[in-house]
Structure 1
């Protein structure tokens, strides 16, 4: 029986988001555990550097991710595409059913283990896209102006670390972190009570650990995705969405560091949530019921089932 091979074609960063790469790598890690051979399509230099950066933070050698010899096209059983123009249906499946939400093994190993402390702690991380990262600074500034004094865990690009540390130097038990591996992210997030992020990979990871979220949505596309999920799950959707739709940006526009009023609203919402421990507990309970950390297994199971039923590649 031939060894299963899976090839990934992906893109990420400012164009479609860093999380698209981390999602593909999380699925690749699960495939490696099954003995599949993994390849990443040779792509543009920027995306390749992001893949290398993300993969280098895993516990598996980078050489396992990238084979510079092209795979045998006749041996490939699955080509997973996650680009601005096309997406593999099973990678998109989580939008319709969160049991297919792919999260890194570091999070699935800690599924549902979020442990509230004496004081509620927010986990603030809005991603790594260049257009979105500065929003973290604006958001922390608004928290400071509102009188928030911690504790908090903030994850941001290293070039903003000194500014954020200066803003939070008088805050109680607050840390500013950068360049974390999936394992480090999971260990930091599991100590927290609510995430501040955007709809995407980190939101799914937060749910898996058992914490709810406040989302600051950067684009019309994010607004629509969040609205779809909120309509499906209703009162059981453990997220408060701070949308920019009312600011009349075109659907795919970045909200240009987000309007100040949007960030102010998010800061006020977070402070109110932190003062309501029962609500945080309820959001966490709802979250862990939605994402159990086994999405990557289900995606690969579905790929294998389709291969067996059709007797061909997918």
Structure 2
């Protein structure tokens, strides 16, 4: 046997494999999610997410500066207030932790990277849901849209360049876009968490934001069994004016990500969520897998499936390793 066609020719050396690689991880494709907490004097480690902390405003400034220096595409801010109530009042206060932190990060990094903010009520409510509750304890979609509009204005005025609508309320993109435009914030972009699933992989995030949630979010986040529905949600958000679409989580929904990326006329991103991070860190910590290879493989797979950018807690580490691999020219 003497086969003429030998695909292995393109796998012979590291240089050859790098030359023909179809997917590369570039720092500009990476977005670092960060948590900032109101009532702490020093960063607090998150036990379920080794290496990740709840920041003070001062430590957040330093993290943002590191992200900018590494060439990351952006930073996504999540706020943890000292007090919560039924409607998440702290989310719309000008001096609330998220809006205060946004102003600090914008002042620190300027235009070096895109400053993004999570627009959702779950961190701010005493019941932990992503919206306002009705008299029966369910999430009131339309009443929640009013709160989202107010949050959007507060975040835009604080300097956020891209608002991450993650609540999965029907009509949220249209409601926020209308409010922003009416207030003159026509240049503020919207990242729609278009296909966000009711996933078990959000577990460590609950610790990260000190979630007060009792029960689950299955009446508004998508059923993990549904693929076509993800396309429907993404199409609606794009039609309502979303500038970027998100699929979340990433690992278990690469088919949905590929579907959306194949048809959308706007950028499509994915979020490598806390549970994905924690699983790899835990397995590596036990010596069961090669940590560095697993991290790179997981993010490469998300990009290969069609994501134009990835929110990942390894963003800074990956950016630095990419720069080292390509001699500082990543």
Q: Report TM bin, short chain.
A: under 0.3
> Which one has the bigger helix percentage?
1
Specify which structure has the bigger relative contact order, considering alpha-carbon pairs within 8 angstroms and separated by 6 or more residues: 1
* Alignment TM-score, normalising by the size of structure 1: 0.27
